[in-house]
Structure formats: structure tokens, C-alpha cells
Amino acid sequence: MRNEFAEMDRQQPVELIPDFPYEDRHEFVETLAYKLWEKRGRPSGSPDVDWVAAERAVYSSLVASGLITPSATDMQHLEEKLYR
């Protein structure tokens, strides 16, 4: 599974554009994970790969926009940073 995460990290960045202005972060991660899954050819049995990749992409976007201040422990507590 680690190799799948590394492969996702090396791919082109996903453009993060909400479907509507006030889209909930959880819904946005869900939508993005679905798009990533489709992009990978809709394989069965690996939803966590796309979900984690989507969370990382949303987190990176929020950090870049200044909405989240990064810290050294963010990857261990990513859900707390994204969904609060």
C-alpha cells in the first residue's frame, strides 16, 4: 500500500475547485477521492488509497491558501486539521 501512496504523490497535482462556493471539506475530499479513483481506472478493494490522497491534496491546498497553518504533527492528525 505504501507504494500506491508514493505513486499518487508523484502524479500531477489535482486541481482543487469546489463544485459550489461553500462546499463542506468532507464532501470535497469525498468528491476528489472519487475522481482520483476514476482516474486510476476504478479498481476494487483500495478506497483508502484515493481517500488519503484526496485528504493530502486538500490539506496542501488549504496550507497554500493560508487557511491552515502547518505543523510537524499534521500528517498524524490530518483529520483533525481538515474537518474541524
The model's pLDDT over 45-67, given as tens digits with 9 standing for 90+, comes to: 888 999 999 999 988 888 888 88
- pLDDT given at position 69: 85
* Cα–Cα distance, 1 to 49 (Å, whole number): 8
Is the pLDDT at 13 greater than 70, yes or no?
A: no
Q: Mean pLDDT, to the nearest integer, of 11-16?
A: 56
Q: For 31, what's the count of Cα atoms within 13 Å in the CB-facing half-sphere?
A: 14
Asked whether the predicted pLDDT for residue 36 surpasses 90, the reply is: yes
- Confirm if 54 and 80 have CB atoms less than 8 A apart: no
* Residue 67 · residue 59 · CB < 8 Å: no
pLDDT cut 90: percent of the chain above it: 26
Mean per-residue pLDDT for 67-75? 83
Q: Is the CB of residue 61 less than 8 Å from the CB of residue 16?
A: yes
